[in-house]
Amino acid sequence: MVGVWNTLFGYCLFAALVALIDPRIPHGYILASLLSSPINITVAFLAYKWFVFKTKGNYLREWIRCVAVYGSSALLNLILLPIIVEAIRHTTHFERQAPYIAGGLLICFGVIYSFIGHKKFSFRPSS
């Protein structure tokens, strides 16, 4: 349930920001991705901490680790997003929908990557 919540929240925030920014700024979907990431990371961190891994204390250390996991994924998404958007625009008739489709496609990778990263790194017990 937490993964579904994080995915829906993250995509909806990204999509809302794309809808607000992209019509006004060329390639605004990139800015939307940059702006939504810190919020999405923090919301996901709290949900994983409280409901999945149920760790106690260590908020700052675990949040920094989450930023490392999500940040590396967000950086890869930032690189791939314009490439996928342009590929969709050139191969389909989905000009305006391309950022939304690309964001949805990148979620598939992000979900798997982040769960493994959190399990093995962000919320692992201290040794």
Q: For residues 5 and 43, what is the distance between their CA atoms, to the nearest angstrom?
A: 10
- Report pLDDT digits (tens) over 104-118: 999 888 888 877 887
Q: For residue 126, how far is the Cα from the chain centroid?
A: 26
Cα–Cα distance for residue pair 48/7, rounded to 1 Å: 12
Give 89: exposed, middle or buried? Use CB within 10 Å, 0-12, 13-18, 19+: middle
What does pTM read for this prediction?
Answer: 0.83
In this predicted model, what pLDDT tens digit does every residue of 65-109 receive, in sequence order?
A: 889 888 888 898 999 999 999 999 999 999 999 999 999 999 888
